[in-house]
Structure 1
Amino acid sequence: MSNFKAKTVLVTGANGYIGNAVARSFVRAGWTTYGLVRNAETRISLKTEEIISVLGSVGDKEFVSKLAKQDRTFDVIVSTTEQIMDYVPHYNDTIDLLRAVATASNRNGVRPLVMFTSGCKDYGMTGLHGSEGLEPHTEESPLNPPPFAVDRAFNAIKIHDHTDLFDGVLLRPTTLYGLSSSFYGPIFDTAARAAEKGVLELTADPKSIMHGTHVDDCAEAYVAIAEADRDVVKGQCYNISGHQYETLEKVANALVGGYKIAGGVKFLPAPEKKGVDIVQMLYGFSQWVGSEKLRKDVGWKDKRQLFSEGLHIYRMAYEAAVAQKHGNVERIQGRIRGFESMAQEDKEKLST
């Protein structure tokens, strides 16, 4: 035990939804965990989670230059941030940072594993539950992203182009739930408004597939990959998805029961209107995602209840996050506004 030395990991966006869950998961696994954050006020909360904060930004050239010259080595570097509305500049800045940290580590005899986060929406949609020929998206599926994810889908795969400095792994989680809830948060907001109205109205097919994963299960997958045989995982892509998908109908019925919506749920055709409701679009983004490769290669498995099964617990966590004005809740609301603006622009282009 006297020769024990914890491995080190740097997580970018360590105060974000995925980043914080990943950093906490590495701490639990015994890693010395550093978290890169942009705002000084977030550093105290990281200390309470035993995460060593590093104040800086991927877009700060002077900061990145200092990283390349510093003496700290990292066995693993995890990238969890993106700016989906202006993806490419942030991606390029992130690559510069990853290469700077890897350069310093290489100088000290360590070749890092870099884990880069994208998302399963890069594959596009699958059919509905019960549709003929329905199959899950796998890592071999072609990329067919919706407009907002095009830049991400076709740039993220380039993480494998930097073998001069590090070994890359590309991760594609499904939509995540739990804690502050990410994009599942607005689902709770929709149900709360429906309870006041007396009916939950959804403009999507009840057989639409909602395949989510609890954020802490997702974070455990990052650790499982980091601790796996490097020769097995390097250069690979891995989907991260729950053991079972749910249908919109199942989720909607759970919301009706949980919020005591007297009139139940009504599935309506999409209205003919200029506005774009991104939350309703998320309900209807039918996608089944396979994660058998991840389970086979590193032995990972999800443990948390499905969204509909643990809805009351997840609802309480989300409502507490809202009450605390949690930064992740505010960020999701901002991203939804951005998605709606982008979707409206695309709709207007098509109409002309």
Structure 2
Amino acid sequence: MFVLVLGASGFIGFPAAQALVRAGHTVYGQTRSEQKATQFAKEEIIPIICAPDSDGWYDILAKLDVVIDAVGGMAVHEISQAIYKRTSDAAARLRPAGAPKLSYIYTSGAWVHGDSRTEIFSDTAPLTPQAFVAWRPSDEQLVVTDTVLNGIVLRPATLYGRSGSLFESLFKGAKEGKAVWPGKPGQRLSLIHCDDLADLYVRLAEKAHVVGGLTFDAANGISESTDAILERLVHVSGATAYEYKEPTNLFENAVASSVILRPYLARSLLGWTPKKIGLMDGLEVYYKACVAA
């Protein structure tokens, strides 16, 4: 296959691009950075230097099989909307007559399920999104109902591994003496390692024309206690203490939420099973990896 990863230098996009290369596919990686482009070339990822919501990659659109939107950042709403709309319009104009639909994998997130310390959510549960991502459900529906693109939605749980993702600031604070996390005791986190998520992107890309129009949650089989993680982190890092703080914005409110996921579609339709050790059990390794990065 020919696959383009938009946001290929990010915490989600880079492992996904690497996994697709290992799976034998021709992978293009979008980046704004010349330095990242050099890194891509070393990884056998073909670099494309442009903004993700520009037409800088349209010269390969006609031959692509899959586009993966893995763009992140605080302006992700506006950028992802622009990427989707422009890609759908361009595919209608530039794809050869009679060509299969271009498969489009949109990266959403588990915060669309809301906040509950007791309720268990599956891929097909009704959504009550956190305010920080209140716009995501409507964007998801645009993708999976598009008549030009073969749309698929992927909702990762809270990510861990490598450079740490949301845990980076927590680990940095622990290294400096105190681990601080927004929210209150009793939080439950559904988690997914970035490598396991990358494996799911490969499976979705390869089976895209079988699972088009579906939405997949991505999470380990069990949730984890934030209290236990923080206690373990103090021991691993040598920090003097940990504490919770009151959230100060919508983003921190989302970070402080509890989402307990029991996904089933990826397992039943794609044979996907997370393989990496959980955050709590592997915390010493993950903490050191993040500090090193």
Which residue does the alignment assign to 1:167?
150
Task: Note closer, same or farther for the CA distance 1:202–1:100 as it changes in structure 2 (3 Å cut).
Answer: closer
CA drift at 1:19: 0.8
| SS, match of residue 12 in structure 2 | helix
Task: Note closer, same or farther for the CA distance 1:17–1:31 as it changes in structure 2 (3 Å cut).
Answer: same
RCO higher in structure (CA 8 A, sep ≥6) = 2
CA drift at 1:220: 0.5
Which residue does the alignment assign to 2:223?
245
Is the Cα contact below 8 Å between 1:84 and 1:149 reproduced in 2?
Answer: no
- Percent identical across equivalent pairs? 25
Greater CA drift, 289-298 or 82-91: 82-91
Task: Note closer, same or farther for the CA distance 1:259–1:99 as it changes in structure 2 (3 Å cut).
Answer: same
| SS, match of residue 301 in structure 1 | coil
Q: Which amino acid aligns with 2:157?
A: T
Is the Cα contact below 8 Å between 1:119 and 1:171 reproduced in 2?
Answer: yes
Task: Note closer, same or farther for the CA distance 1:99–1:311 as it changes in structure 2 (3 Å cut).
Answer: farther
1:109 is the counterpart of 2:115? no
Query: Within 2, Cα distance between the matches of 1:223 and 1:172?
Result: 15
What RMSD in Å do the two structures reach over aligned CA positions? 2.6
Is the Cα contact below 8 Å between 1:170 and 1:236 reproduced in 2?
Answer: yes
CA drift at 1:205: 3.6
Q: Which amino acid aligns with 1:288?
A: I
Q: Which amino acid aligns with 1:319?
A: V
Instruction: Pick from 275, 283, 291 the counterpart of residue 303 of structure 1.
Output: 275
Consecutive unaligned residues of structure 2, counting only runs of 5 or more, are: none
Task: Note closer, same or farther for the CA distance 1:279–1:228 as it changes in structure 2 (3 Å cut).
Answer: closer
Greater CA drift, 16-25 or 96-105: 96-105
CA drift at 1:77: 1.3
Query: Within 2, Cα distance between the matches of 1:47 and 1:92?
Result: 27
Structure with the higher helix share, 1 or 2:
1
Q: Which amino acid aligns with 1:297?
A: L
Which residue does the alignment assign to 1:228?
207
Q: Which amino acid aligns with 1:48?
A: K
| SS, match of residue 152 in structure 2 | strand
1:50 is the counterpart of 2:44? yes
TM-score (norm 1): 0.75
Which residue does the alignment assign to 2:122?
138
CA drift at 1:208: 0.8
CA drift at 1:308: 1.4
Is the Cα contact below 8 Å between 1:211 and 1:289 reproduced in 2?
Answer: yes
Larger Rg: 1
Query: Within 2, Cα distance between the matches of 1:204 and 1:183?
Result: 14
1:217 is the counterpart of 2:189? no
1:313 is the counterpart of 2:285? yes
Query: Within 2, Cα distance between the matches of 1:46 and 1:180?
Result: 18
| SS, match of residue 17 in structure 1 | coil
Query: Within 1, Cα distance between the matches of 2:174 and 2:221?
Result: 25
Which residue does the alignment assign to 1:349?
none
Which residue does the alignment assign to 1:344?
none
1:206 is the counterpart of 2:185? yes
Query: Within 2, Cα distance between the matches of 1:261 and 1:41?
Result: 35
CA drift at 1:93: 3.6
1:287 is the counterpart of 2:259? yes
Instruction: Pick from 55, 62, 68 the counterpart of residue 78 of structure 1.
Output: 68
Is the Cα contact below 8 Å between 1:126 and 1:137 reproduced in 2?
Answer: no
CA drift at 1:169: 0.5
Task: Note closer, same or farther for the CA distance 1:281–1:189 as it changes in structure 2 (3 Å cut).
Answer: farther
1:258 is the counterpart of 2:232? no
Which residue does the alignment assign to 1:87?
77
Query: Within 1, Cα distance between the matches of 2:69 and 2:173?
Result: 31
Query: Within 2, Cα distance between the matches of 1:102 and 1:295?
Result: 33
Query: Within 2, Cα distance between the matches of 1:261 and 1:225?
Result: 41
